[in-house]
Amino acid sequence: MNVELPEEALEHLTVMAGHDARAALNALEMAALVTPPDANGKRTITLETVEDAFQHRALQYDRAGEQHYDLISALHKCMRDSDPDATLYWLGRMIEAGEDPLYIVRRIIRFATEDIGLADPQALIVAMAAQQAVHFIGLPEGNLALAEAAVYMAVAPKSNSLYTGYSKVQYEINHGSNDPVPLHLRNAVTNLMKDLGYGKDYKYAHNFEGHYVEQQHLPDSVKDKHFYTPGELGYEHQISARLKEWRQKH
């Protein structure tokens, strides 16, 4: 883009950059976008345009203060409550106020694993694709990548089964006995290990019907515990049915 910045506009941007370099850069980007090119394709950005753009970016928003956390909380809860309209609105409020887009996409990635999980495994892929898009092209072009990811999260089936399951595992590790790996699951890489029973009587799943085999995989102290219990929405409905089928056989 061929841009000309008069001295007075440059001075104003320099002062702004001393307070908030990102806001100054965002204001310059917006000023360039709203300034029409002349016959030679040059965009001459006036001081008035820069001031208007900066005022637009400097909505009442403190990225280190209460409103920062209020807005991200609203975004997260609206995605969780499956409201795409409110999701898009709060996302826009954050973007237009100059929030770091990588901060937003980190929260979207967290949401994909915490509130959707295996109900829609594609959610994490969409979130990571948004991160790559924002990192690659930046703003304002990356706005729609963030919007697509956030709305996808809002309309996706929800499940916190992974979050709950891993929390149970964390508790068990921190408060349990942490017994050693059962011998038949260990890898016998030496003759001594074989003599000690490493890998003995291990059943290879691919040799059994449905590529499923029942054998003890957990230490004795937790062998009967279930940490992951899938929900009934989205892909987890299939996972739930598969687990029930396997467990009914034994």
Helix (H, G, I), strand (E, B) or coil at 43: strand
Q: What's the pLDDT tens digit per position in 178-232?
A: 899 999 999 988 999 998 999 999 999 999 888 888 999 999 999 889 999 999 9
- Give the residue among 167, 197, 157 at the shortest CA–CA distance from 180: 197
Q: Is the pLDDT of residue 1 over 50?
A: yes
Pair 152, 110: CB distance under 8 Å: no
Which residue intervals of the chain bear CATH 1.10.8.60?
2-57
Provide the mean pLDDT of the chain. Answer: 85
Q: Which residue carries 């409201």 as its tokens?
A: 83
User: Interior CA angle at 218 toward 172 and 196, to 5°?
Assistant: 125
C-alpha to C-alpha distance for 84 and 233, rounded to whole angstroms: 18
CA atoms of 65 and 159, how far apart (whole Å)? 31
SS3 state of residue 57: helix
Is the overall model pTM greater than 0.75, yes or no?
no
Q: What is the CATH number of domain 2-57?
A: 1.10.8.60
In this predicted structure, what is the pLDDT of residue 23? Answer: 64
Q: What is the DSSP letter of 35?
A: S
66-155, CATH topology level: Zinc Finger, Delta Prime; domain 3 (1.20.272)
Residue 48 has pLDDT above 90, yes or no: no
- What's the length of the chain? 250
Give me 80's structure tokens. Answer: 């969780």
Q: Where in the chain is the domain with CATH 1.20.272.10?
A: 66-155
Average pLDDT over residues 17-27: 65
Mean local confidence (pLDDT), 49-77: 69
> What number is the average pLDDT over the span 90-101?
89
Stronger pLDDT, 39 or 193, i.e. the higher one: 193
Cis, bond preceding 140 (omega within 30 deg of 0):
yes
> For residue 58, is pLDDT > 50?
no
Contact 213, 203 (CB under 8 A): yes
173 vs 180: CA distance, rounded Å: 12
Q: List where CATH 1.10.3710.10 sits in the chain.
A: 161-248
Pick from 65, 85, 66: nearest CA to 75: 85
Judged against a pLDDT cut of 90, whether residue 113 lies above it is answered with: yes
pLDDT at 250: 62
Q: For the structural domain made of 161-248, what CATH number should be given?
A: 1.10.3710.10
